[in-house]
Structure formats: C-alpha cells, structure tokens
Amino acid sequence: MADATNPIKQFEIHPIADLTIGGLNLSFTNSSYFMVVSVILVSGLLSLAMTKRALVPGRSQSVAEMLYEFVAGMIRSTAGDDGLKFFPFVFTLFAFILMGNMLGMMPYFPAPEFHGFTFTSHIIVTFALAVLVMLVVVGYGVMKNGLKFFSIFFPSGVPPVLYILVTPIEIISFLSRPVTLGGRLFANMLAGHILLKVFAGFIVMLGSVGALGVLGAVAPLVMVVALTALEFLVAFLQAYVFAVLTCIYLSDALHPGHH
C-alpha cells in the first residue's frame, strides 16, 4: 500500500527481460518498453495518417501535416532554410520526446507493473539526447566550417582585448548546453510527476481518515486535475523547447559567423 502514495515509485525501473552483453546490464526494462512503444506509436500513427495521402487531407492527415509544418517552420525560423537538412533529426527528437512525455501522462499503462512511466524523467536519457544534439552540432559544424566553427567562441563586434574575458564565458556556456538542455527536460518531467503523485497521495491519505477526510480530499483532487492539465502543457512545451534549442544550436553549426 505504501507504493500507492509513494511519489518516487513511478520512476522505478523494472527489468522485463534480462540481457547482459560484455558484462553490461542491458536488460529490456519498462523504460525500454516505453521507448519502443513511443517509436511504434509515432511511426505507426504517422504512417496510418498518411495511408491515403489524399490531396484534400482528412483529420488524421491534417494533424500529421500540421506536425510536419510545425517542425519545419520552427527550423526555418531559428536556423534558416539550410537548417532543413536537419529536419528528420529535429522531427525525430521532437516526436520521440513528445510521445514519451505524453505516454508519461498516463497514470496506468498496459505495461509491466502497470504503472505509468516517463522515460524523459530519467536524467541519463535526456542527457544522452542532449549530448547527441551537441555531437551533431559540433560534428557538422567542424565538418562544414572547419576551424571557422570555433569562431562561435569569439563573437564579432567585441574588442579583441575582451576575448580574454568573453571567450572563456562562451566556452563555458557552450559546454553547459548539454547539461541545461537535458537537465531542463528531466527536471520538468520529474518535478511535475512528483507533484502530481504527491497531491494524488494526499487524496488517498485523507480519504482513509474518515468522512471529514473525504471532504477535505476535494482540495487536492481539484489540485490534481489542474496539475494534470498543466502537466499536459509542460509535456508539450518541454518537447518544443528541446526541439527549438536544438535548432538554435544547429544554427550555430550552420552559420558560426553571426552569433
């Protein structure tokens, strides 16, 4: 019963199928399960929406196209038209994170242990995604611009003397990007889900006290409803923020000159 009100329980990882390769524990867990479900849902729903590929789109096709145009517009406005070569990457990031966040909003899910799980509430996952973004940025930036890429550490319009001060700051800010990028998503999802579960736990606790408790439980119930709405917003917003920041960082790799 303690599990019911334990706000941390939802973040636990349970192995489903054990797998060890080279001494590494690579078990298929409920986290992996949700990732796979995300992949299946994203690709399945989008494919399903596009089966007819009608000239005049139906409802689902409209949504798929809206999502497409949304991400394309986001890239165009932040990284310019040449940023569109990263469109599949940004779209995959956005869709994957969005689906993960949204799946996390399900309190119960046909999953092992039957508790909802948000793989974006695990720092290793968000950090890995952020590092992937930075690797793409640095990799592409160096490949395309060579050493000129590192001019992002020497912003134009600054007197050269100040580079002593500015450049270390730029380097630190660049290096902290994966931390903030991954940390933001992780912290938002973690905090939101803990908060939800804490208030939901109040309902259970108050409800078991008696008639007065049941009456008092209305307040946290209202709170949970409101928080759920907020969390849906956050789930979308954080996926969006992640994608937008990715675009902005990619813009550095595309045009390191104007910083």
Nearer to another protein, 43 or 173 (CB): 43
d(CA 94, CA 231): 17
Distance of closest approach, residue 237 Cβ to another protein, in angstroms: 20
Distance of closest approach, residue 29 Cβ to another protein, in angstroms: 6
- Please tell me whether residue 250 adopts helix, strand or coil conformation: helix
DSSP codes, 11-67: G---EEE--EETTEE--EEHHHHHHHHHHHHHHHHHHHHTSS--SS--HHHHHHHHH
Nearer to another protein, 195 or 205 (CB): 205
Distance of closest approach, residue 3 Cβ to another protein, in angstroms: 10
Nearer to another protein, 118 or 145 (CB): 118
Distance of closest approach, residue 249 Cβ to another protein, in angstroms: 17
First to last CA, the chain: 55
For helices 59-79 and 87-104, angle between their N-to-C axes, nearest 10 degrees: 120
Nearer to another protein, 152 or 217 (CB): 217
d(CA 91, CA 102): 16
Distance of closest approach, residue 208 Cβ to another protein, in angstroms: 6
Nearer to another protein, 24 or 147 (CB): 24
Nearer to another protein, 24 or 164 (CB): 24
Distance of closest approach, residue 209 Cβ to another protein, in angstroms: 6
| Interface residue list for another protein (CB under 8 A) | 1-2, 5-6, 8, 11-13, 15, 19, 24-29, 31-32, 35-36, 38-39, 42-43, 46-47, 50, 53-55, 57, 61, 64-65, 68-69, 87-89, 91-92, 95-96, 119, 121-125, 128-129, 132, 186, 190, 201, 205, 208-210
Parallel, antiparallel or unpaired: strands 28-29 and 15-17: antiparallel
Instruction: Count other Cβ atoms within 10 Å, centred on residue 208.
Output: 12
Distance of closest approach, residue 47 Cβ to another protein, in angstroms: 6
Parallel, antiparallel or unpaired: strands 20-21 and 15-17: unpaired
Nearer to another protein, 205 or 241 (CB): 205
Determine whether 104 is exposed, middle or buried from the number of CB atoms within 10 Å of its CB (0-12, 13-18, 19+).
Answer: buried
Look-up of token digits 């939802």: 10
d(CA 96, CA 248): 19
